[in-house]
């Protein structure tokens, strides 16, 4: 956390215009080919890297990539496919129960309302926001550790909790950038604005960032 000054409206516009120019069509680094595969991958990604999740889903999805097929695998079968992921036992239980609910209440489809998504085991606000944004094109903001850090460090959207940062981002980001902003911020935090040693000298948006200005005088 820093005590960066809030970005101005002009800085925010420059920040996102630059990110958009560099990456006009940003996408998640999780691999999926359907809304259900996305939901499953995001559910498995808690406290795990996208690389690690992709490694496991490359084994799982060719065998079982629908709620019914995962139910047919059984809990032990599911665990055997995702055991390389941290917390795989609890995640397997959540995913199995989620699949059961999808089959019984939603005809095997992933619902597109926040309330229905958050009612699924293992699906919190952040996971629901990812699905709503990536699968359904909703202008939601899933605040993970990267976005929380970037928001506070740069002065883009400061807050002491993920929800506070989420609400600030939704207020401050221009509407034309909102649908893609989630991806831009995650990628920026993952590869440039890193936790321990932000790569300020290599940062394309440093001129719009109040952290770099403060630390370099």
Active centre residues (catalytic): 126, 144
Distance CA 14, CA 208 (A): 6
Contact 151, 6 (CB under 8 A): no
Coil, helix or strand for 118? helix
User: Taking Cα atoms as reference points, which of 91, 142, 141 lies closest to residue 121?
Assistant: 91
Distance CA 151, CA 85 (A): 28
User: Taking Cα atoms as reference points, which of 102, 179, 132, 104 lies closest to residue 38?
Assistant: 132
Give Cα 104 distance to the centre of its chain.
27
Distance CA 110, CA 102 (A): 7
């Amino acid at each position: 956390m820093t005590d960066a000054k809030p970005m101005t409206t002009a800085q925010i516009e420059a920040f996102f215009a630059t990110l958009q120019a560099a990456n006009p069509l940003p996408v998640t680094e999780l691999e999926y080919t359907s809304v259900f595969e996305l939901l499953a991958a995001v559910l498995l990604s808690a406290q795990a890297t996208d690389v690690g999740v992709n490694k496991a889903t490359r084994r799982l999805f060719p065998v079982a990539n629908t709620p019914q097929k995962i139910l047919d695998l059984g809990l032990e079968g599911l665990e055997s496919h995702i055991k390389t992921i941290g917390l795989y036992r609890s995640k397997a239980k959540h995913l199995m129960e989620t699949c059961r609910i999808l089959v019984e209440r939603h005809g095997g489809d992933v619902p597109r309302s926040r309330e229905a998504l958050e009612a699924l085991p293992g699906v919190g606000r952040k996971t629901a926001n990812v699905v709503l944004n990536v699968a359904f094109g909703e202008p939601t903001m899933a605040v993970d550790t990267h976005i929380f850090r970037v928001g506070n460090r740069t002065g883009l959207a400061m807050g002491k909790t993920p929800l506070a940062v989420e609400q600030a981002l939704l207020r401050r980001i221009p509407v034309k950038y909102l649908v893609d902003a989630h991806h831009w911020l995650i990628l920026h935090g993952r590869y440039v604005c890193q936790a321990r040693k932000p790569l300020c000298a290599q940062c394309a948006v440093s001129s719009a960032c109040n952290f770099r200005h403060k630390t370099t005088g």
